Structure 1
């Protein structure tokens, strides 16, 4: 049976174990620390020298019209697979509003869908340019949007998706 002494021993043992854990953590931080400071003040263990070059591995910046001229709606249909979890193209809403006819449609205008109101920062109409910038980083283009998608980083994927959505009409 549990008496007062047994309960006192159990609580004391738990407190003692906590103290040993905290002491071990403190000693470990002291032994393996990189020399105090936070953020930018930390000393690097080693530095990797990188030679600066003109282009690096980055793609050259292309203007939007040139990208749209090379857009492929068939490839955009494959990119739409990333959107399919939340959006439909048959006129019915899912987690997100339906996207058939989205190109040229007023923003926040699908009836029966409850918008967060954040998309109005993008503009008034879903022009190809507005879609292009929004699809790169939805949370950056419309802070506060309920859309949790991280975005499409490749410009060619974005224009292909816009071409596909435009081919669906309204």
Structure 2
């Protein structure tokens, strides 16, 4: 009988040790998150870092405005280069008419009505920003989808280079238009 009691007592101590260690790790994680994120709720966007002022600079927006406009770049866009950029889209979008995937098919998307693909359940966020996917609206959306159409289900972060966006739109204009 002493042997059974010893085994039960030993198992209880071991289990208690594991539970105590787990509690320490959970509390440590909570404390580290509170320190790092400043006590904010988990999942919020937090920017950590420092702003570095540079001479003659007034922020990222001025640098973006200094480049050529979308219209200038689009006028000389290269559809062959756009086909290469489309590889980033191909995991979620198809170019075949009616072949919806995670995202709707992009067959004939340029100058197509927004939210108009049959059989695809849209989030509704796009209708608030555009009626037709003309090159200008596509450019804005492809630059930063969540910023352009808040509430969109598209999880892609966007194409920061205006040349990539222009080339991609030129390529999409050749598909089913």
TM bucket (normalised to shorter chain) is 0.7 to 0.9
| 1:66 counterpart residue number | 72
Q: Is the 8 A contact 1:139 1:147 kept in 2?
A: yes
SS in 1 for 2:138: helix
**How far 1:14 moved relative to its partner?**
5.1
1:52 to 28, 52, 55: 55
Q: Structure 1 residue 144: deviation in Å?
A: 1.8
Query: Residue in 2 aligned with 1:106?
Result: 113
> Residue 87 of structure 2 is aligned with which of 81, 90, 108?
81
CA drift at 1:79 = 0.3
Q: State the partner residue of 2:150.
A: 143
Residue 162 (structure 2) aligned to one of 155, 159, 169: 155
CA contact (8 A) 1:123 1:130 kept: yes
Q: Which moved more, 1:152-161 or 1:1-10?
A: 1-10
* Aligned residues of 1:76 and 1:157 also touching (Cα < 8 A): yes
Structure 2 residue runs without a partner (length 5+): 33-37, 40-48
Unpaired runs of 5+ residues, structure 1, are 30-37
Largest Rg, 1 or 2 = 1
Residue 100 of structure 1 and its aligned partner are, at CA, apart by: 1.5
C-alpha distance 49-113 of structure 1, shift in aligned 2 (>3 A): closer
Q: If the length of structure 1 is used for normalisation, what is the TM-score?
A: 0.72
Q: Give the alignment partner of residue 96 of structure 1, picking from 97, 103, 107.
A: 103
RMSD: 3.3
User: Relative to structure 1, is the Cα distance of residues 130 and 48 closer, same or farther in structure 2, using a 3 angstrom cutoff?
Assistant: closer
2:15 and 2:121 mapped to 1: Cα distance? 53
**How far does residue 62 in structure 1 lie from its aligned partner after superposition?**
2.1
SS of residue paired to 1:140 = helix
Cα displacement (A) at 1:126:
0.4
